[in-house]
Chain A
Amino acid sequence: MMRRVLLLALIALLAPLPTGFAQTDDTVAMGEQLEARVFEISRKLRCPTCVSESVADSNAGISIEMRNEIQAQLQAGASEAEILAFFQDRYGDWILLEPPRRGIHLVVWWLPGIALAAGVIGLTTLMVRWTRNAQQATHEAQADDADLARVRAALQGDSETSS
Chain B
Amino acid sequence: MMDVGLGPLGNAALYLALAFSVWGIVAGAIGAIRRDARLLTSARLAGVATFLAMTASIAIMEIALLTDDFSVSYVASTSRAGNPLWVKMVTLWAALEGSLLLWGWLLSGYWALLSIVAPNSPLRAWALTTMAVVQTFFVLVPAVIAPPFEVISPAPLDGPGPNPLLQNHWMMAVHPFLMYLGFVGLTVPFAFAMSALLSGRPGSEWMLQTRRWTLIGWGFLTAAIITGGWWSYEVLGWGGYWAWDPVENVSFLPWLTATAFLHSVQVQERRHMLKGWNLLLIILTFSLTLLGTFLTRSGVVSSVHAFGDGPVGPAFLTFFLIVMAGSFGLVAWRWDGIRDRADLDHPVSREGSFLAGNVIFLAIAFAILLGTLFPLIVEAFTGDKVTVGAPFFDQATLPLWMGVLLLMGIGPLLPWRRANTQTLRGNLAWMTGAGVIAAAVAYAFGLRGIYPILTVGLSGWNLASLTLLLLGAVVPRMRVGTRSVVQVLTGYAFENRRRFGSMIVHFGVVVMALGIMASSAYRIDEQVRIEVGDTMPFQDLTFTVQDTFMETTEYRVGAGAVVDVHRDGSLLTTLRPKINTFFGQSMNVPTPDVLYLPLYDVYLNIAAGVTPDSEFVVLRVVRSPLVAWVWIAGFIMAFGTAFALIPSRRGVRGTQRAPKGSSVA
Chain A residues close to B by CB (< 8 Å) = 2-3, 6-7, 9-11, 14, 16-24, 26, 28, 32, 35-36, 39, 43-44, 46, 51-54, 56-59, 64, 67, 92-99, 104-105, 107-109, 111-112, 115-116, 119-120, 123, 126-127, 130-131, 133-134, 137, 162
What is the CA–CA distance of A36 and B526 in the complex, to the nearest angstrom? 7
Q: If the complex has contacts A46-B387, A130-B343, are A20 and B237 also in contact, measured as CB distance less than 8 A?
A: no
Q: What is the CB-to-nearest-CB distance from A28 to chain B, in angstroms, rounded to a whole number?
A: 6
- Tell me whether B237 and A52 are in contact (CB under 8 A): no
Q: What is the CB-to-nearest-CB distance from A70 to chain B, in angstroms, rounded to a whole number?
A: 12
What is the CA–CA distance of A35 and B345 in the complex, to the nearest angstrom? 57
Residues 617-644 of B at the A interface (beta carbon under 8 Å)? 620, 625-626
A-chain residues with CB within 8 Å of residue B467 when the two chains form the complex = 2, 6
- Tell me whether B445 and A17 are in contact (CB under 8 A): yes
Q: If the complex has contacts A6-B467, A51-B245, A105-B386, are A134 and B344 also in contact, measured as CB distance less than 8 A?
A: yes
Which residue from chain B places its CB closest to the CB of A42 in the assembled complex?
A: B525
What is the CA–CA distance of A58 and B590 in the complex, to the nearest angstrom? 11
What is the CA–CA distance of A95 and B240 in the complex, to the nearest angstrom? 21
- Tell me whether A53 and B238 are in contact (CB under 8 A): yes
B243-275 vs A, Cβ < 8 Å mask (1 yes, 0 no) = 111100000000000000000000000000100
A-chain residues with CB within 8 Å of residue B352 when the two chains form the complex = 127
Which residue from chain B places its CB closest to the CB of A64 in the assembled complex?
A: B607
- Tell me whether A7 and B437 are in contact (CB under 8 A): yes
What is the CA–CA distance of A17 and B605 in the complex, to the nearest angstrom? 25
What is the CA–CA distance of A99 and B619 in the complex, to the nearest angstrom? 31
What is the CA–CA distance of A95 and B387 in the complex, to the nearest angstrom? 7
- Tell me whether A131 and B378 are in contact (CB under 8 A): no
Number of interface residues of B (CB under 8 A): 80
Q: Which of A3, A14, A19, A94 contacts B442 (CB 8 A)?
A: A14
- Tell me whether A97 and B370 are in contact (CB under 8 A): no
A-chain residues with CB within 8 Å of residue B356 when the two chains form the complex = 123
**Which of B183-191, B388-396, B543-551 is the contact stretch?**
B388-396
Q: If the complex has contacts A20-B626, A131-B346, A134-B343, are A107 and B527 also in contact, measured as CB distance less than 8 A?
A: no
Interface status of B155 (Cβ within 8 A of chain A)? no
Q: List 6 A-B contacts (CB under 8 A).
A: A52-B244, A56-B525, A58-B238, A59-B620, A97-B391, A104-B378
Q: What is the CB-to-nearest-CB distance from A121 to chain B, in angstroms, rounded to a whole number?
A: 10
A-chain residues with CB within 8 Å of residue B367 when the two chains form the complex = 112, 115
Q: What is the CB-to-nearest-CB distance from B601 to chain A, in angstroms, rounded to a whole number?
A: 10
Other A-B pairs, 15, CB within 8 Å; known A59-B620, A98-B395: A10-B441, A10-B463, A17-B442, A21-B522, A32-B524, A32-B526, A36-B524, A57-B238, A58-B238, A64-B608, A97-B389, A119-B362, A120-B359, A123-B355, A137-B343
Q: If the complex has contacts A115-B366, A130-B273, A137-B343, are A107 and B374 also in contact, measured as CB distance less than 8 A?
A: yes
B-chain residues with CB within 8 Å of residue A39 when the two chains form the complex = 525-526
- Tell me whether A52 and B382 are in contact (CB under 8 A): no
What is the CA–CA distance of A109 and B386 in the complex, to the nearest angstrom? 13
A-chain residues with CB within 8 Å of residue B524 when the two chains form the complex = 32, 36
Q: Which of B240, B438, B522 contacts A20 (CB 8 A)?
A: B522
B-chain residues with CB within 8 Å of residue A98 when the two chains form the complex = 389, 391-392, 395
B-chain residues with CB within 8 Å of residue A131 when the two chains form the complex = 344-347
Q: What is the CB-to-nearest-CB distance from B191 to chain A, in angstroms, rounded to a whole number?
A: 28
- Tell me whether B438 and A99 are in contact (CB under 8 A): no
Q: Which of B360, B366, B437, B607 contacts A10 (CB 8 A)?
A: B437
- Tell me whether B238 and A162 are in contact (CB under 8 A): no
Q: What is the CB-to-nearest-CB distance from B374 to chain A, in angstroms, rounded to a whole number?
A: 5
What is the CA–CA distance of A99 and B388 in the complex, to the nearest angstrom? 6
Q: What is the CB-to-nearest-CB distance from A134 to chain B, in angstroms, rounded to a whole number?
A: 4
- Tell me whether B607 and A130 are in contact (CB under 8 A): no
- Tell me whether B342 and A59 are in contact (CB under 8 A): no
Interface status of B363 (Cβ within 8 A of chain A)? yes
Q: Which of A17, A57, A99 contacts B386 (CB 8 A)?
A: A99
- Tell me whether B243 and A52 are in contact (CB under 8 A): yes
What is the CA–CA distance of A119 and B374 in the complex, to the nearest angstrom? 21
What is the CA–CA distance of A131 and B355 in the complex, to the nearest angstrom? 14
Which residue from chain B places its CB closest to the CB of A23 in the assembled complex?
A: B539
Q: What is the CB-to-nearest-CB distance from A50 to chain B, in angstroms, rounded to a whole number?
A: 10
A-chain residues with CB within 8 Å of residue B537 when the two chains form the complex = 26, 28
What is the CA–CA distance of A17 and B455 in the complex, to the nearest angstrom? 14
B-chain residues with CB within 8 Å of residue A137 when the two chains form the complex = 343
Most chain B CB inside 10 Å of its own CB: which residue of A57, A119, A123, A133: A57
B-chain residues with CB within 8 Å of residue A130 when the two chains form the complex = 273, 342-344
- Tell me whether A104 and B441 are in contact (CB under 8 A): no
Which residue from chain A places its CB closest to the CB of B605 in the assembled complex?
A: A59
B-chain residues with CB within 8 Å of residue A123 when the two chains form the complex = 355-356, 359
- Tell me whether A108 and B527 are in contact (CB under 8 A): no
What is the CA–CA distance of A2 and B437 in the complex, to the nearest angstrom? 14
A-chain residues with CB within 8 Å of residue B400 when the two chains form the complex = 116
B452-496 vs A, Cβ < 8 Å mask (1 yes, 0 no) = 000010001001100100000000000000000000000000000
What is the CA–CA distance of A108 and B377 in the complex, to the nearest angstrom? 11
A-chain residues with CB within 8 Å of residue B240 when the two chains form the complex = 57
What is the CA–CA distance of A95 and B352 in the complex, to the nearest angstrom? 43
